[in-house]
Amino acid sequence: MSQHQRGATETQQELSLLSVRDLTVEFETDRGPLRAVDGVDFDVERGETVCLVGESGSGKTVTAETITKLIRMPPGRIVRGVAELDGRDLLSLSERDLRAIRGDRIAHVFQDPQHALNHCYTVGWQIREAIQVHEDVSDAAARERALTLLNQVGIPDATTRYDDYPHEFSGGMKQRIVVAMALAATPDLLIADEPTTALDVTIQAQLLDLLESIQTEYDMAILLITHDLGVVAELADRVVVLYAGKVMERGSVYEVFDTPAHPYTQVLFDCLPGRGRPLRSIGGTLPDLHDPPPGCRFASRCEYARKECHTGDQPPLYDVADAQTASCVYYGPGGDPDALRNGQSEGDPDG
Ligand code: SF4
């Protein structure tokens, strides 16, 4: 249990660590407002890993960066919604209050470690600085802790390498150093946005193992943003599938992998080899988020689409199984979920 959790009240213990509700974010563009995230809801519990999954343009990075207001505003604008950490809405905090939360309770790891490190300072100095921003400790104590962190993230010969500069490390080692900086204040939540994408495959596996081990050690929650279902399988407890700014499906990793419910999730999995189904790609493109069509956002690409899929709003998230919900009319009143599960189309994609 982290120091923050130990200090939490009984009431707070009953709350999700992070609760995002109706998050809606727009960007002002030359063509008018573009709604990148539209009514997104999900929770992250203490110590668990939640993966936000979806193709480029699905809104996963905007969702993650809005939680700590890292998106540039303007052109970004939070239209509505809340992102509560232990019941306290981060979106209504001042920049000063948020700075105290970023790095301390919520830390970020981004795709490219190059941008997270300052190439003018040694890695030891940068980790020590990250520690001292959040804790009033002496240089000697901060150095000791920085060395411990370098050891924890698997930097060999940490005492010597403490005084090396970022350019003297490989990409994988740089990302480990970024993780060490993120752990400097023992955060309750690590937001990792495609943390392995810039790394080669063997190094990716090592970094995933590292994230898993530090999560256990720190009892830390992870919100992982990825388009890679292999990464999801490795780390996730729960999965939130996003498409065109909307949540299409939520569930435990077992539910979503064993019986993907939403047609979009099913196609995502059919892009993966080794699942005993013919490989296929997703035809078509994302809808224009400047002026999305009515109905289900996935309708123009959905082989099961029916007439009602092209009218009204995005279907609500209907119950599918224990913790699994899907935004699809086939799970609503009068729907026939078996038609989706059996791969039988009863609809007309063109409505
Ligand atoms: S069947 Fe309709 S509601 Fe369900 S995913 Fe396809 S288009 Fe969307």
302 lines ligand 1 (CB under 6 A): yes
Q: What is the pLDDT of residue 100?
A: 86
Query: How far does the centroid of ligand 1 lie from the alpha carbon of residue 298, in Å?
Result: 6
Ligand 1, residues 282, 307, 318, 329: which to mutate, most atoms within 8 A of Cβ?
A: 329
Q: What is the pLDDT of residue 276?
A: 67
Tell me, what amino acid is at 84? E
329 lines ligand 1 (CB under 6 A): yes
Ligand 1, residues 241, 328, 346: which to mutate, most atoms within 8 A of Cβ?
A: 328
Sequence-separated (6 or more) residues with CB below 8 Å from residue 230 = 272
Output Rg (C-alpha) for the chain, integer angstroms.
Answer: 21
> 145-179 as b/e, with b when 16 or more CB fall inside 10 Å?
bbbebbebbbbeebeebbebebeebeebbbbbbbb
Which residue, by CA, sits nearest to atom 3 of ligand 1? 328
Cβ–Cβ under 8 Å, residues 32 and 290? yes
Residue 319: beta bridge partners? 325
Superfamily of domain 3-236: P-loop containing nucleotide triphosphate hydrolases (3.40.50.300)
Nearest-10 Cα torsion for 9, 15, 19, 22: -120
Percentage with pLDDT > 70 across the chain: 91
Cβ–Cβ under 8 Å, residues 36 and 289? yes
Summarize pLDDT for 122-162 with one digit per residue, the tens: 999 999 999 998 889 999 999 999 999 999 888 999 999 99
Q: What is the pLDDT of residue 135?
A: 86
The dihedrals phi and psi of 228, each to the nearest 5 degrees, come to -100, 110
Sequence-separated (6 or more) residues with CB below 8 Å from residue 1 = 219
Q: Which residues of the chain have pLDDT under 70?
A: 1-14, 273-279, 342-351
pTM of the model: 0.89
Query: How far does the centroid of ligand 1 lie from the alpha carbon of residue 45, in Å?
Result: 29
Query: How far does the centroid of ligand 1 lie from the alpha carbon of residue 254, in Å?
Result: 22
The SS3 assignment for 334 reads coil
* DSSP of 274-331: TSSS------S----TTSPPSS-TTGGG-TT--GGGGSSSPPP-EE-SSS-EE--GGG
Residue 197: CB atoms within 10 Å: 15
Which residue, by CA, sits nearest to atom 7 of ligand 1? 299
Summarize pLDDT for 255-294 with one digit per residue, the tens: 999 999 999 999 988 877 666 666 677 778 899 999 999 9
- Take residue 255 and report the two structure tokens written for it: 């539910």
The dihedrals phi and psi of 137, each to the nearest 5 degrees, come to -125, 160
Which residue, by CA, sits nearest to atom 1 of ligand 1? 305
* DSSP of 244-268: TTEEEEEEEHHHHHHS--SHHHHHH
Strands 221-226, 49-53: pairing kind: parallel
Per domain, the residue ranges of the chain are 3-236, 263-341
